[in-house]
């Protein structure tokens, strides 16, 4: 019996990719008001994750979604677009920066930035050149400042991993 269990465990370990076994799930809440009093926010708005990690956008408050900002997606990465009032979980596989917006509140500054992988993001220059409407311009600039500073821990509720 012990030989069968050992064989089964060995086969399972061989089938599961190594990075999947260590992948983390990070939670981002979609909020009308953040812990710092700011309106229409993702919390945390900035994450640094590893390839293969997942990010779950939680529909904490109504009328929000999470979707990729055009031009802010690494080459080879799959774009995503969540539905209003629905949780969405995405697996981020490609190194680079991913810009995320809530479509109804994009102009109000509801944006997030996710850096995947270590080192320089291959799409950093292109992503930083994307123009944003209204308040999203200032908020995204602040997120890029955090990326450049390597400041994943700043701001309210930045833990994000479960």
Residues that constitute the known binding site: 64, 102, 105, 110
Helix residue ranges, H only, the chain:
2-15, 18-22, 124-128, 136-149
| Of 102, 93, 80, nearest in space to 34 by CA | 102
Rounded-to-integer distance, Cα 78 and Cα 67, Å: 11
Annotated binding-site residue numbers for Cu cation:
64, 102, 105, 110
54 closest CA partner among 19, 31, 27, 21: 27
Taking CA 160 as the corner, what is the angle to CA 29 and CA 35, rounded to the nearest 5 degrees? 55
């Amino acid at each position: 019996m012990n030989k069968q269990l050992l064989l089964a465990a060995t086969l399972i370990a061989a089938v599961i990719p190594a990075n999947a076994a260590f992948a983390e799930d990070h939670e981002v809440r979609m909020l009308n008001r953040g812990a710092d009093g700011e309106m229409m926010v993702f919390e945390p708005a900035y994450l640094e994750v590893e390839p293969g990690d997942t990010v779950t956008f939680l529909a904490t408050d109504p009328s929000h979604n999470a979707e990729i900002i055009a031009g802010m997606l690494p080459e080879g990465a799959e774009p995503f677009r969540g539905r209003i009032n629905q949780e969405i979980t995405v697996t981020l596989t490609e190194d680079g920066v991913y810009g995320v917006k809530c479509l109804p509140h994009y102009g109000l500054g509801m944006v997030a930035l996710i850096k995947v992988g270590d080192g320089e993001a291959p799409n950093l220059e292109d992503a930083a050149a994307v123009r944003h409407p209204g308040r999203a311009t200032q908020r995204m600039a602040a997120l890029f400042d955090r990326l450049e500073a390597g400041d994943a821990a700043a701001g309210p509720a930045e833990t994000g991993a479960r």
